[in-house]
Chain A
Amino acid sequence: MDKKKLQIALYWGAACGGCDVAVLDTNEFILDVAAACDIRMWPIAADGKYKDIEAMADGELDLAIFNGAIRTSENEHIAKLLRKKSKTMVAFGSCAHLGGIPAMANQFNKEEIFEKAYLKNPSIQEGNAAVPTPHTRVEAGELEIPVFYKRVYKLDDIVDVDYYLPGCPPAPEQVKAVLKLIVSGGPLPAKGSVVGASDRALCDDCQRKKEEKMVKQFHRPWQILQDPERCLMEQGILCAGSATRSGCGVRCPNSNMPCRGCYGPLPGVVDQGAKILSAVSSIIDSKDPAEIEKILEGIQDITGYAYRFGMAASLLQRSVR
Chain B
Amino acid sequence: MGFEPRIVGFLCNWCSYTGADLAGTSRIKYQPNVSVIRVMCSARIDPTFVLKALATGADGVIVCGCHPGDCHYSEGNYKTMRRFPLLKKMLKDFGVEEDRVRLEWVSASEGQRFSEVINEMTDKVRALGPSRIRISLDADKVER
- Cα–Cα, bound, A303→B51 (Å): 13
Q: Does A27 contact B (CB under 8 A)?
A: no
Chain B residues whose C-beta falls within 8 Å of the C-beta of A316 in the assembled complex? 51, 54-55, 94, 96, 133, 137
Chain A residues whose C-beta falls within 8 Å of the C-beta of B143 in the assembled complex? 150
Q: List which B23-61 residues lie within 8 A (CB) of chain A.
A: 46-48, 51-52, 54-55
Q: List 7 A-B contacts (CB under 8 A).
A: A107-B94, A274-B47, A277-B83, A281-B79, A282-B83, A292-B82, A320-B96
Q: Which of B47, B52, B55, B140 contacts A278 (CB 8 A)?
A: B47
- Cα–Cα, bound, A275→B69 (Å): 26
Q: From A307, which residue of chain B is reached at the shortest CB distance?
A: B90
Chain B residues whose C-beta falls within 8 Å of the C-beta of A226 in the assembled complex? none
- Cα–Cα, bound, A151→B142 (Å): 12
Among B54, B78, B144, the one with the most A-chain Cβ atoms within 10 Å of its Cβ is: B144
Decide yes or no: A147 and B144 within 8 Å by CB, A282-B83, A292-B85, A302-B86 being known contacts. Answer: yes
Q: Does B89 contact A (CB under 8 A)?
A: yes
Q: Which residues of A contact B (CB under 8 A)?
A: 73, 76, 107, 147, 149-151, 153, 270-271, 273-275, 277-278, 280-282, 284, 286-287, 289, 292-293, 296, 299, 302-303, 306, 314-321
How far in angstroms is the closest Cβ of chain A from B31? 25
Chain A residues whose C-beta falls within 8 Å of the C-beta of B140 in the assembled complex? 150-151, 153, 317-318
Where chain A touches its partner, the secondary structure class is: mixed
How far in angstroms is the closest Cβ of chain B from A213? 13
Chain A residues whose C-beta falls within 8 Å of the C-beta of B131 in the assembled complex? 320
Decide yes or no: A287 and B94 within 8 Å by CB, A277-B47, A302-B89 being known contacts. Answer: no
Contact present for A281 and B55 (CB under 8 Å): no
How far in angstroms is the closest Cβ of chain B from A191? 22
How far in angstroms is the closest Cβ of chain A from B47? 4
Chain A residues whose C-beta falls within 8 Å of the C-beta of B78 in the assembled complex? 287
Chain B residues whose C-beta falls within 8 Å of the C-beta of A271 in the assembled complex? 47-48, 51-52
Q: List which B102-120 residues lie within 8 A (CB) of chain A.
A: none
Q: Which residues of B contact A (CB under 8 A)?
A: 46-48, 51-52, 54-55, 68, 78-79, 81-83, 85-87, 89-90, 93-96, 131-133, 136-137, 140, 143-144
Contact present for B81 and A287 (CB under 8 Å): yes
Chain A residues whose C-beta falls within 8 Å of the C-beta of B68 in the assembled complex? 287
- Cα–Cα, bound, A321→B82 (Å): 26
Among A107, A286, A317, A320, the one with the most B-chain Cβ atoms within 10 Å of its Cβ is: A320
Contact present for B144 and A319 (CB under 8 Å): no
Contact present for B83 and A281 (CB under 8 Å): yes
How far in angstroms is the closest Cβ of chain A from B141? 8
Decide yes or no: A274 and B144 within 8 Å by CB, A282-B83, A286-B82, A316-B51 being known contacts. Answer: no
Q: Which of B52, B86, B136 contacts A281 (CB 8 A)?
A: B86
Interface contacts beyond A281-B86, A287-B78: sample of 9 additional A-B pairs, CB < 8 Å, sorted by A: A270-B48, A274-B46, A277-B90, A278-B47, A299-B86, A302-B90, A315-B48, A316-B96, A317-B140
Contact present for B46 and A320 (CB under 8 Å): no
- Cα–Cα, bound, A24→B137 (Å): 37
- Cα–Cα, bound, A271→B90 (Å): 13
Contact present for A318 and B86 (CB under 8 Å): no
Contact present for B87 and A319 (CB under 8 Å): no
Q: From B54, which residue of chain A is reached at the shortest CB distance?
A: A316
Contact present for A320 and B133 (CB under 8 Å): yes
Chain B residues whose C-beta falls within 8 Å of the C-beta of A153 in the assembled complex? 140
Among B55, B90, B137, the one with the most A-chain Cβ atoms within 10 Å of its Cβ is: B90
Chain A residues whose C-beta falls within 8 Å of the C-beta of B89 in the assembled complex? 296, 302-303
Decide yes or no: A303 and B93 within 8 Å by CB, A317-B140, A318-B140 being known contacts. Answer: yes
- Cα–Cα, bound, A157→B83 (Å): 30
